Structure 1
C-alpha cells in the first residue's frame, strides 16, 4: 500500500453559477461583485452599485448568455476544471489528494480544503494553485486572501503554499503555444491573431504598483524593467503575448497580432484597447476578413470566452465587415497543461510520494 502523501493539491478557478436560471445568477453575481478586490470601491458605494444598479437587471441578461454556452454536464468552467482534477489525480496517484475549489459559487474554497482533509486526515501541507497565469487583484490575489481566511480559521496547523503567477513559466508557455498552433495552421488565411485578456480598471494597476510611481505613470512602463512588474497585470499580459509570439514565431507569419482587453464594467478608465472595439476596428479600418482570438487570461473556457468572444465578439466582427472569427480554445485539460501542473506539484512532493 502506497504511503499517503502529507501534501494535498487545491486547484482554484473563478467559479460559476449552479445553473443558468436567473435566481442562481443573482446569488453568484452578488458574491462575485461584492468582493472588494473585484469592485474596489468603498463598501457603501460598492453595495449601492451592486444591489441598486446591477442585480436588478444583470441576472436575467447573464442567464441568457449562460444558457447559450451551458453543456449537458453543467457549467463549462466547472466541467473542464474537474477534467483537469481527474487527469492530474491520475498522474500524481491516488495517494496524493487533489481537490477543486471555486472563488465564487460551488464548490467553494472551503469545500476544497474540507475535501482534502477528508481524503487525507493526516495532511500537513496544501499547495494552492490559482488557475490564473497573470497576477491581478480580482483573480490571484482574491483567491490567496480567501484561501488564507479558510486556512487560518479552520485549519491553522496546515502549512499552505501558493503558486505564483506563471505567465512566463516555460511549461505554461509551451501549453499555451501548442493550444494556439493548430488553429493558426488550419486557418492559414487569417489576417490577424488577437490575444484578448480580461480587463481591469487602471486604478487597480496603480494600486498594486509596489514602487508607487511606475505603472501607467512613466512612458512605456510595461517594457521598462521595474519591481512593479511582480504584481502588474498589464505587464504580465503583454509578456504572455510576447512569450507566445516567440514560441510560435509570429513575427515571421503573414498575419499580424496584438493584445486587447475585454469585459469592461462601469465608466471608469479600464485597460485599452477594448476587445470589442478592436474587433470592429480590425474589420472597418484594417480590412480584416478573418481573425483568430485566443484568451490567455483564462485557463478554462467559460462565459467570457465562449459567449463574449465566440458569440458576441464574432457578431460584432461580422457586422463591421469581417467574414469569420475563429475562437481558439483555452489550454483547458490538454496534456501539456497537465504536464505543467504535474511538474509544479512534483517539486513539492517528497521523492517517496512521487510516481516513478
Structure 2
C-alpha cells in the first residue's frame, strides 16, 4: 500500500467580502456538530437570522486581519504543509473542514498520487465535537462515497503529549522572553456546555464543576474542557509558573445557551479592574493564527484591557510553522509510515 498524509484545519472564506463570508458561515454554522440543535431550528437560526445579520460584521473583522497572500489561516497552513513535506518522503496534502479547500479535494490529490492509505491529521490539539469529530465524520463519509478503496487512520488528540507540551512551552517562553508580564491567560475556543456532556462516553462523569476535570475518568479521552485545562496545567508546570500568575478562559461564545466559563472577554475585564497592568495571552486551542486569535484576541482583547486600565497586552502567536512543531508532526508521520502506530 502507498501511504500519504492529509492535514486538515478549520477553513476560511475565499475572500473577506460579505458574499464569501456569508457562504462560509452558512456551511460552518449549518454543521450539526457546531450548532447541535434539530435541523429545523438550526435552519431557522442560521438562515433566518444569523446569515441576514452577521456576514457584514464578520467581513469587517476578516478585512482587519487579511494578508496580501490571502487568509492568514490558509497561508500559515500552507506554509506548515510545505515545511512538513520537506521532512518526509510521503506525499502531504492540505484540506479544510469548511470552505473551498475541501477534504474531498485533499483526498483526491492523494489518490491521484497512488495513495491508498491515508494518515489524517486534524490540526487541533484537543478533541471536540465541533473540531476533530466533525472532520473525522465527514472524512469517513467522503471515503465511503468516493474513495472506498482507501484506508484512513487518524492522529489522536495530542494535548497531553510530552513532546507537544515541550514545543508549546518553548514557543511561549521564546515569545515572552523579554516581556515583563504579571499574568498569563490561556484562552481556548469556547463550546456550549452541552457539547461536553454529549461527548461524555460514561454518560455520568462530566458535571462541569470544580472537580470532574481533575478526577481520572475514561471520559477525559473526549472531554474538551479537561483537555484544555490539562494543557494549561502541563505548560504551567513546564514553565514553573506560580499559581496566581496564570489562568484559563474560553472565548468566542455564540447565542444564549451556557458556554464554557470563565469567558475570555470578562476575564480580561476582571484582570484590568483588579489592577493588572501587564498581561500576556496564549491561544492553545489553535495551531494556526486565525480570525479568533488575530482579531478577537489581539485587537478586541487588547482594547478591553486598555479600557480597564491595563497598559501592556502581549499576544503569543500560535505554533504556526514553528520549526519545532514542524519537526514534531514530521516525527509522528514518519513513525506512522514505518509502524502504522503513533503514541501521543
TM over 0.5: yes
- Matching residue of 1:166: 158
CA distance in 1, matches of 2:217, 2:338: 35
- Matching residue of 1:157: 149
Work out whether 1:257 is the aligned partner of 2:246: yes
How much has 1:219 moved relative to structure 2?
5.2
CA distance in 1, matches of 2:209, 2:171: 34
Comparing 226-235 and 209-218, the one that deviates more: 209-218
- Matching residue of 1:213: 204
After superposition, the C-alpha distances for 1:14-71 in whole angstroms (9 at most, x for unaligned) are: 0000000000000000000000000000110011110112101111000000000001
Structure 2 residue corresponding to 1:41, chosen from 6, 13, 37: 37
CA distance in 2, matches of 1:216, 1:327: 32
- Matching residue of 1:331: 319
- Matching residue of 1:269: 258
- Matching residue of 1:79: 75
Secondary structure class of the residue paired with 1:116: helix
- Matching residue of 2:342: none
- Matching residue of 2:329: 341
CA distance in 1, matches of 2:262, 2:295: 20
Structure 2 gap segments, 5+ residues each: 340-344
CA distance in 2, matches of 1:165, 1:314: 30
Count how many residue pairs are aligned between Structure 1 and Structure 2: 339
CA distance in 1, matches of 2:209, 2:261: 16
Give the 3 Å change call, closer, same or farther, for CA 178–59 of structure 1 in structure 2: same
- Matching residue of 2:103: 109
Alignment RMSD (CA, Å): 1.3
CA distance in 2, matches of 1:232, 1:77: 25
Please report the TM-score for the alignment, with normalisation by the length of structure 2.
0.96
Structure 2 residue corresponding to 1:233, chosen from 224, 238, 254: 224
On the 8 A contact 2:9/2:123 being kept in 1, the answer is yes
On the 8 A contact 2:76/2:320 being kept in 1, the answer is yes
Structure 1 gap segments, 5+ residues each: 352-356
On the 8 A contact 2:193/2:208 being kept in 1, the answer is no
Moved over 3 A (4+): none
- Matching residue of 1:133: 125
Secondary structure class of the residue paired with 1:48: helix
Work out whether 1:23 is the aligned partner of 2:19: yes
How much has 1:90 moved relative to structure 2?
0.5
How much has 1:106 moved relative to structure 2?
2.2
After superposition, the C-alpha distances for 1:312-331 in whole angstroms (9 at most, x for unaligned) are: 01001111111121110000
Comparing 205-214 and 174-183, the one that deviates more: 174-183
- Matching residue of 2:195: 204
Secondary structure class of the residue paired with 2:87: helix
On the 8 A contact 1:30/1:55 being kept in 2, the answer is yes
Please report the TM-score for the alignment, with normalisation by the length of structure 1.
0.93
On the 8 A contact 1:191/1:289 being kept in 2, the answer is yes
CA distance in 1, matches of 2:75, 2:142: 24
How much has 1:184 moved relative to structure 2?
2.4
Give the 3 Å change call, closer, same or farther, for CA 40–324 of structure 1 in structure 2: same
- Matching residue of 1:296: 284
Secondary structure class of the residue paired with 1:31: helix
Mapping for residues 64-75 of structure 1, pairs under 5 Å:
64-75=60-71
